[in-house]
């Protein structure tokens, strides 16, 4: 897992999923510390190198979900979220470990950047 704190980028961290069993949902494991550092995230890149289709669920809300077909990548932008879950849509086959990679990011606006770096 890599982490980046940098003006202009804000916050970035990558997660690599272990096995997601068939039909089940797995949390990517964003820590409370990371959530509290940024309040929310606004970009996610999901790469699905598994043979199974997956669903990306934002904040545990099944109305905020995106399907990522096997062997493809999806970019989630324009939506604030604090957590991501991955659901294996295959009813028979588990994904293999390290086949699904998720990068979450928060790009700060210039105003947020100044507020976070200024010392009073």
Q: Is 78 left (phi over 0), alpha (psi -120 to 50) or beta?
A: left
In tens, the pLDDT along 30-50 reads 999 998 888 899 999 999 999
What is the distance between the alpha carbons of residues 25 and 7, in angstroms, rounded to a whole number?
A: 34
Q: Is the pLDDT of residue 109 over 80?
A: no
- Cα torsion 70, 76, 82, 85 to 10°: value is -10
Give the predicted TM-score (pTM) of the model: 0.83
> What is the per-residue pLDDT for 73?
98
Structural domains for the chain:
3-117 (2.60.120.770)
């Amino acid at each position: 897992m890599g982490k980046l704190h940098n003006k202009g980028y804000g916050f970035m961290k990558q997660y690599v999923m272990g096995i997601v069993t068939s039909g089940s949902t797995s949390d990517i494991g964003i820590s409370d510390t990371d959530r509290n550092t940024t309040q929310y995230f606004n970009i996610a890149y999901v790469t699905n190198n598994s043979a199974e289709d997956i669903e990306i669920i934002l904040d545990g809300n099944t109305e905020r979900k995106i399907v990522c077909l096997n062997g493809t990548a999806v970019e989630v932008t324009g939506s604030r979220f604090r957590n991501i879950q991955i659901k294996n849509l295959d009813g028979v086959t588990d994904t293999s470990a390290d086949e699904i990679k998720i990068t979450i990011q928060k790009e700060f606006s210039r105003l947020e950047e100044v507020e976070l770096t200024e010392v009073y």
